[in-house]
Amino acid sequence: MLIWAVNDPKRLSKATEKAIESASGQGGLAVSGITLWEISRLVANGALIINPPTEDFLDKMSSQTAVLPHYAQNRCSRLRAPSQDPFDPADRLIGATAWAAAIPLVTKDRAIRESARFPTIW
């Protein structure tokens, strides 16, 4: 979603557009540090192509959003998720970060959206 917001905003849902607009007017957007790491990993593995180059994209995101820590130390119980929660460890960390920060997670990922423990917008 973060990549779409930067490179192809027409792919965003109306609810996502409204959430981004609202957050921008209320002090800004936040992104999990794990999200930035995951983007780097996907680009390095050839599973994702982004423009501008990865370092420039990550620098831009870091300067235009609040980068949230993943809260692993004090929120480990959120990571011991039941089977209906996302299996992907990065998705669990991203969800736990949003939960710990008490902000909804904007995602198209169905597994995350279907988790009752992570409030989401799409």
Task: Give per-residue pLDDT as tens, 95-116.
Answer: 888 888 888 888 888 877 887 7
Task: Give residue 105's identity as a one-letter amino acid code.
Answer: L
Reported as a single tens digit per residue, the pLDDT across 60-98 is 888 888 898 865 544 555 555 555 555 677 887 888 888
**CATH code at position 38:** 3.40.50.1010
What residues have CB less than 8 Å from 11, skipping those under 6 apart? 4
Distance CA 92, CA 88 (A): 6
Domain count, the chain: 1
Q: What domain range is 7 assigned to?
A: 2-121
Distance CA 116, CA 121 (A): 12
Reported as a single tens digit per residue, the pLDDT across 30-40 is 888 888 999 99
pLDDT (mean) for 52-64: 86
What is the model's pTM?
0.73
Judge whether 100 and 84 are in contact, CB under 8 Å: no
Task: Give residue 96's identity as a one-letter amino acid code.
Answer: A
The single residue listed with the structure tokens 């480990």 is: 76
